Structure 1
Amino acid sequence: MKTIALSLVHVGINPETAEEMDAMRGFIRDVLGMKEGQETPISWFGAGNRIEFMKEKGRGTKGHLGFYTPNMDQAIRELKAQGYSFDQDSAQYDEDGSLRLIYLTEEINGFAIHLLSRES
C-alpha cells in the first residue's frame, strides 16, 4: 500500500459564541505569544496560519483539519481506494483550473477534513 503524502497545515476551530472565539484568540495571542495572521471573510488566522478561527460555525461539529498534499490527484485516488469519499460541492479551484481544496464527505471524530494543494 502506498503512503499518502499529507501534512497537517492548519486546524479550524468553530466557536459556539463570539465571546468564546474572542477568548480563544486572546489566549493564543496573549498567553502563547502567537501573532494573529490574515483575516478572511469567514475567519481569522493565527499562530503563523496554523490555527483558523472561524467567525461562525464552519464545517465539522468541532472544526476542521486542513492537510497539504503535493499531489492532489494521487491523494484523492488513494483515499478513495481506502473507502473515503469526497464532497464535490466543496471543491475549490485555482485560476488555472487545478483543484486547490476539497473536503472529505465524512467527519472523523467531529472534525471535517480537507485537502489543500498549497501549504498556506
Structure 2
Amino acid sequence: MANDPQELFGLRLGHVGINASDNDEAVAIAERFTDLLGLPGRETPISIFPNELVEVMREGGRGEKGHIGLHVDADKMADAEAWFAERGFPVEESSRRLMPDGTTRLVYFQEPIGGFAIHLTQE
C-alpha cells in the first residue's frame, strides 16, 4: 500500500475555516476575502463561503483557531478514514454528517493540530 494520501485518496486542501465571533464579523471577514479574490460566494445557515477556499463560521466553530477541510475522492472516504485511524488519527463519530444516500459527507478527526480542527469531506 502506498503511503501518500494524495495518491491513495485524491487528498487535497478543500478550505480553511475561520471562526468569527458573530455574524457581523463573519460578514466583514467574508467581504474582505471576496474583495481579495474576486470570486463569487455562497452562504449557509452557519457559515459564509466568500469562495470555495475559505469558510467563515458565523459564531465560532470547531477548533481554537478554526478548521481545515481536507477533501478526498467520493469513493475513497471509508478507505481514507481507515488509513488515518491506522496512523493514530481516529475520527470523532459524533461529528459525522451523512449524504442522502447514507455515505459520509463530512467527519472531523478527534485531535486538533495547532489549534485547528481537521475534517475530511468527499466530493
* TM norm structure 2: 0.85
Distance change in 2, residues 1:77/1:102 (3 Å)? same
Equivalent residue number for residue 101 of structure 2: 96
Distance change in 2, residues 1:27/1:77 (3 Å)? same
State which of 68, 79, 83 in structure 1 corresponds to 2:84.
79
Equivalent residue number for residue 41 of structure 2: 37
2:29 aligned with 1:24: yes
The alignment's C-alpha RMSD in Å is: 1.6
Contact 2:31/2:50, CA 8 A, preserved across alignment: no
The structure whose residues are more often helix, as a share, is: 2
Q: Measure the CA separation in 1 of the matches of 2:108 and 2:37.
A: 31
Q: Which amino acid aligns with 1:10?
A: H
What is the total number of aligned residue pairs between the two structures? 116
Equivalent residue number for residue 63 of structure 2: 60
Identity value in percent: 39
Q: Measure the CA separation in 1 of the matches of 2:105 and 2:27.
A: 29
Q: Measure the CA separation in 2 of the matches of 1:74 and 1:86.
A: 13
Structure 2: gaps spanning 5 or more residues: none
Q: Measure the CA separation in 1 of the matches of 2:37 and 2:118.
A: 27
The structure whose residues are more often strand, as a share, is: 1
Equivalent residue number for residue 50 of structure 1: 53
